[in-house]
Every structure is written in C-alpha cells, then in structure tokens.
Structure 1
Amino acid sequence: MKITVLTVGKLKESYLKDAVKEYAKRLGKYCRLEMEEVADEKAPEHLSPAGEKGIRSKEGERLLKKIPENAFVITLEIEGEEISSVKLAQKIESLGISGISHLAFVIGGSIGLGEEVLQRSDYALSFGRLTYPHQLMRVMLLEQIYRSFRIINKEPYHK
C-alpha cells in the first residue's frame, strides 16, 4: 500500500523532523510512504473571516495539485469522525482489501482546510476536539498509521 501524507507548511523544529524521520523509517516495513509539503500563507493575528477563507483557498489549491487522482483521501478535521486506533487499523485494512492501494492523508495549515479540499475528501478523521499544532499532527498521524499496521499484522503495540 502507498501512503501519502500531504501537509501545509514546513517542519521547523528538529525534534519534530527527527520524529517524522523515525516513523517514516518504521513504516518502510509496511508501506511506501511519501511526504508532501505545500507552502503556507502568512496569517496575521487578527484576520477577517473572508481573509481566513482566502488563505484556506490558496493553501487548498496547492494541496489539490498534490493529491493523487486515484488516492482515497482522508482529511484530518476537528469535526471528523473520532475513532480508536483499532478502528483506524480496521479502516485501513478494509480499504486495502477492497482494492484501494493508495491512501492520501491531508493535514491543513494553522487555520484549517479549504472547502475545495473538504469536498475532495473521502473520509474525515478527527483526533478529538482539542486543537493541536498542525506540525505536531504529522508526528501523531504517522504514529497512528504505524500503530495501525502493527495491529493489522497482529504485532504487539502499546495499548
């Protein structure tokens, strides 16, 4: 299976880069992982709703260009479905069994995903109602994908 993780903005902190590198290495045993970054827009502190929409739209255009045509798209959204690690593993496994060989996970920028990207989404996944830094979400997502493959392969994982 091929997994693409699409994100807005570059990782800056070395500890996050190291964590992403570690999970990418671990995932190499289970899938072909591809990481894609698109440029983020500068978002002033006090932005109007129209300004926010404009930023999400610009970032969304960049993301849409990187989403592979044949991929099953999973967007990370606060309003998405909250599921357990086991349920995520079951979802990934069932998608693979049904013939889907490419999953694209999409993480938006600091003010979220544009409407065009949300419309392209096949499944909205939530990590809960808490807000996390979008750069940290990369590490959290990769850890959960890794955990999913461990569960699918009936290998030990930390509960």
Structure 2
Amino acid sequence: MNINIIAAGKIREKYISLGIDEFMKRLAPYSPVKVVEVDSESKILGRIKGNPYVIVLEISGKSMSSEEFAEKLREISLSGVNEVVFIIGGAEGLPQEVKNAANLLLS
C-alpha cells in the first residue's frame, strides 16, 4: 500500500515537519511514503489520482488512539486499497469540497 501526504502550501511549522518525518520513518519499512506540497488548497483534489482512501487531517475530525489508527490502516490495507492519501490544510483550513472527498476526517 502506497502512502501519499498532500500538504497545502510549504510546510513551515517545525512540529508538522517533525511529525511527517516521524510518520515516514515508522512507515518506511512497510510502505513507500511520498510528500507532495501544493501551492494552494484548490490544487489538492487535482493531485489525487485513481481511487485512494483519502484521510483529511481536520481539527473537527475523529480522534483516534495510536492503536485505533493502526487498526484502521490495517483494515484499509486488507480491503484491497493500494493507496492512502493524507491531506494537510493550511492555516485557513480546507475547502468543503476537499473535506467532502475524504473517506475519513481525522483530528
């Protein structure tokens, strides 16, 4: 299963950059991970190809423990999905159309 992270704008916040680095380090043994930065939220949906499982990181999304999140990824993998896309919005949040494209809103 491939994992792509799409970020709106340049990732400037150190805590986000460190979180992505940690996420990539933990997943690298199991799955290829790629980070794509787009210059505006309006270009996010254009970067999604095929039929991936889309997870939007959203403050009002569902909270999960690490164990619940690991189980969710396992379920996605077992369902036959070959790609998971994580979307990170900018400071202003994400357009509703991006949120509507999500399979999961995750806090």
Distance 1:86 1:78, change over 3 A: same
Quote the offset at 1:27 in angstroms: 2.6
In structure 1, the residue matched to 2:24 is 24
**Structure 2 segments unaligned to the other structure (5+ residues):** none
Q: 1:79 aligns with which of 28, 41, 60?
A: 60
Q: Which has the higher helix share?
A: 1
In structure 1, the residue matched to 2:75 is 94
CA RMSD after TM alignment? 2.1
Identity %: 36
Quote the offset at 1:112 in angstroms: 0.4
Q: What is the distance in 2 between the residues matched to 1:119 and 1:13?
A: 26
Distance 1:110 1:101, change over 3 A: same
Q: Which one has more relative contact order, counting CA pairs under 8 Å at least 6 apart? A: 2
> Does 2:46 align with 1:65?
yes
More off after superposition, 63-72 vs 83-92: 63-72
What is the CA deviation profile of residues 60-92 of structure 1, one whole-angstrom value per residue up to 9, with x for unaligned ones?
A: x21011122221100011111111110000000
More off after superposition, 26-35 vs 116-125: 26-35
Residue aligned with 1:104, SS: strand
Structure of greater Rg: 1
Q: Which has the higher strand share?
A: 2
Code of the residue aligned with 1:6 in structure 2: it is: I
> Does 2:36 align with 1:36?
yes
Distance 1:34 1:98, change over 3 A: same
Alignment of 1:93-132 (within 5 A): 93-126=74-107
Q: What is the distance in 1 between the residues matched to 2:101 and 2:6?
A: 13
Quote the offset at 1:9 in angstroms: 1.4
Code of the residue aligned with 2:75 in structure 1: it is: S
Distance 1:96 1:19, change over 3 A: closer
What TM-score, normalized to structure 1?
0.60
Q: What is the distance in 2 between the residues matched to 1:89 and 1:33?
A: 16
Q: What is the distance in 2 between the residues matched to 1:117 and 1:21?
A: 24
**Structure 1 segments unaligned to the other structure (5+ residues):** 41-58, 127-159
